[in-house]
Structure 1
Amino acid sequence: MKQIEELLAEYEIDYLYHMTYVDNLGSILLRGLLSRQQTCSQNLTYTDISDQEVQKRRSCKIVRGIPLHGYVPLYFNPRNPMLFVRKNLQSQIAILGIDPLVLLQPHSVFSDGNAACSNTVFYKDLSSLSRLNWKIIRQSIWYDQPDGKRIKCAEVLVYPQIAVRNILSVFCYSDEMVADIKKLRQDHLRIEVNRNLYF
């Protein structure tokens, strides 16, 4: 475990991140983070902030024998092209800080870019974190870099769900959002404003 913690520290992976509409938090903090496949099969209602054209591409993709929609998607850096496209909704988007040790779950994989792209490569062994372009993943600007948009959206895919206990923090756009989330009475959660994760 010490080696794993050292590896995560080397790449400054304090959290993995999942973005969601704040109104979804009640359900998430009850059931955990479910894959899109699970959410649909259980007929759960939620507000979707994703791009539907991108989701169509993702619906056709298989990663390591599992449909891409069977995984819960996380980002190494939430301040990425997906959030940029939804920046008009930022005041309503909560960013969940997930325990990076979900990388150790049996079917977890990670990618060197957006999972929907045909040229994205997927890895299982944590030693392959060295293959990712951390300069682009970490920096604030990606659009002036070759393939920057894809690389910036490097993902971690967790199958088939993420337990509530692995949701460590909720990062918010405003104090008003913090107040609303605290009404859910999840004492184990760290809830704070962090505008550095937003645009």
Structure 2
Amino acid sequence: MTILNKYNDNSYMLLCNYLSESLREIQTFIKSIRKSKEYARITELENIYKETFSYANTRGELYLKMERILSPHYLSFNGELDRGNSSWFISIKIQKKSLNNLDKIYNKLLSGLLRIYKKIFSVLNNPDTEIMEGTLKKHEELIAGVNLKMNEFLESAKDKTVINEREKLTSEEIKNLPYNGFYHMTHVSNLETILNYGLLSHKTVHSNEMIKRDISNNKIQELRNRIEKVYGRNIQDYVPLYINPMNPMMNSNKVMEVIDNIVLMEIIPHVLVQKKKTLFSDGNASTKETNFYKDQAKLENINWKLLQEGKWVEDAESKRIMCSEVLVPTNIEVYYIQKIIVKSEAILKNIFPLFPNHKGIFIEINSEYFRTN
């Protein structure tokens, strides 16, 4: 499994969560031994560790080795190794390279948990010695960090469930879409703000200086600064989404200059019927010939054939149609973003540390979305 697959399926985070929960149980077990003074039971800890790090529970991602090592004073001893003549040796390591790479992205959260496991296991050598307070404090900090990330992931899953319970586009309407959603195009430097606040209208991000790199055409934006006739709102007060992301915008000079740093955000298509007063258009919203609609039944007015073919000729009309849009008023919450699509692997280093996977957002490398006409 590649690092991208592991990142998308949150296997790193889930593994850390599993180990943090198991660590609490092991700590409770050791305290019970100290309280009862039944030090013979300390050998049970070996089996607990083996079960915790078994292939079934860690999917072979971690390596555990435990054995008794003869103490130097007993080098010629050939009998059974026990607490009196030997000490325990333990080695716990990350087995897979992709998991090691993720560990670096997560500031070695998993490595920190494994170090705590090793330190706690040292009680086998001297059960009368208390685990250092610093070790326990570090243990609690690590678990708190894991819980924070898990809560974000669980909240995202809950939000996605809410979307599934709301009104949806019909299967026939979904079939018309060229791809699996609607799309917002931006520079990767704007991604952190989007993951924190959601997608916001052009007017909001510019008036609040929330955009780091603007890839839009200034002249086109001036043409969009007008009132649509359906709800009487300024077009700049909407979040724009393309029905087909492979349109003339992809060929624009400002986009082509930074094409390797462009990201496409795939929005769950049901946003069209779930966000109140959302519009859709039969062409680019900057063009006066374009019509806006609020009635779902009017979706038939869109030139689906051209949008599905994804080709346009060098005339104003086909270019206008290829830029057909969905316009969502004010904002789109993060949980409506189902995927981030990038051109190449090189850009991942700018995206991984933002942890969109915690928000249930997959990352896909697909250069086909970035081809020109």
What CA distance in whole angstroms lies between the structure 1 residues aligned with 2:236 and 2:214? 14
Give 1:37 shift: 1.5
1:8 aligns with 2:173: yes
Task: Give me the whole-angstrom Cα distance separating, in 1, the residues matched to 2:345 and 2:183.
Answer: 20
Q: Corresponding residue for 1:28?
A: 194
**Contact conserved, 2:168 with 2:270, CA < 8 A, in 1?**
no
Instruction: Name the structure 2 match of 1:192.
Output: 364
* CA spacing shift, 1:101–1:168, aligned 2, 3 Å: same
Instruction: Tell me the amino acid that sits aligned with residue 181 of structure 1.
Output: I
- Tell me by how many angstroms 1:45 deviates: 3.7
Q: Which amino acid aligns with 2:232?
A: G
TM-score by length of 2: 0.51
Q: 3-state SS of the aligned residue for 1:20?
A: strand
Alignment partner of 2:212 out of 46, 54, 60: 46
Q: Is the 8 A contact 2:224 2:236 kept in 1?
A: yes
| Partner amino acid, structure 2, of 1:75 | Y
Q: Which amino acid is 1:20 matched to?
A: T
- 1:82 CA displacement: 0.7
Root-mean-square deviation (CA, aligned residues, Å) is 1.8
Offset from partner CA, 1:104-148 (integer Å, 9 cap, x none):
111100000000101101111222111111121122320156710
Q: 1:106-125 alignment to 2 at 5 Å?
A: 106-125=276-295
Q: Distance in 2 between matches of 1:9 and 1:81?
A: 23
**Cα separation, 2, equivalents of 1:46 and 1:61:** 26
1:77 aligns with 2:244: yes
Label 1:2 to 1:58 Cα distance change in 2 as closer, same or farther (>3 A). Answer: closer
Deviates more, 1:71-80 or 1:179-188: 179-188
Runs of 4+ off more than 6 Å: none
Q: Which runs of 5+ in 1 are unaligned?
A: none
Q: How does 1:27-176 map to 2 (within 5 A)?
A: 27-63=193-229, 64-85=231-252, 86-104=255-273, 105-143=275-313, 147-176=317-346
Aligned length: 199
**AA in 2 matched with 1:198:** F
Match of 1:19? 185
CA deviations 1:71-109 (Å, max 9, x no partner) are 000001111001111223210100000111110111100
> TM-score normalized by structure 1?
0.93
Q: How far apart in 2 are the matches of 1:128 and 1:165?
A: 27
The structure-2 alpha-carbon separation of the partners of 1:61 and 1:83, relative to structure 1 and needing over 3 Å to count, comes to: farther
Query: Match of 1:157, SS?
Result: strand
Higher strand share: 1
Residue 10 of structure 1 and its aligned partner are, at CA, apart by 2.4
Q: Assess, with a 3 A threshold, how the Cα gap between structure 1 residues 133 and 53 changes in structure 2: closer, same or farther.
A: same
Q: In structure 2, list runs of 5 or more residues that go unmatched.
A: 1-165
Counterpart in the other structure of 2:120: none
Q: Secondary structure at the match of 2:356?
A: coil
**In 2, Cα distance between equivalents of 1:3 and 1:167:** 16
Q: 1:162 to 1:121 in 2, by over 3 A?
A: same
Q: Which amino acid aligns with 1:96?
A: M
Of residues 60-69 and 127-136 in structure 1, the stretch that sits farther from structure 2 once superposed is 60-69
Q: Percent identity?
A: 34
Asked which structure has the greater CA Rg, the reply is 2
Deviation at 1:168, TM superposition (A): 0.9
Aligned 8 A contact 1:35 1:159 in 2: yes
- Is the Cα contact below 8 Å between 1:109 and 1:157 reproduced in 2? yes
Question: SS of the residue aligned with 1:107?
Answer: coil
Aligned to 1:62, what secondary structure does the other structure show? coil
Give, in angstroms, the shift of residue 3 of structure 1. Answer: 7.0
Answer 1 or 2: higher relative contact order, Cα 8 Å, separation at least 6. Answer: 1
Alignment CA distance shift 1:2-1:186 (3 Å): closer
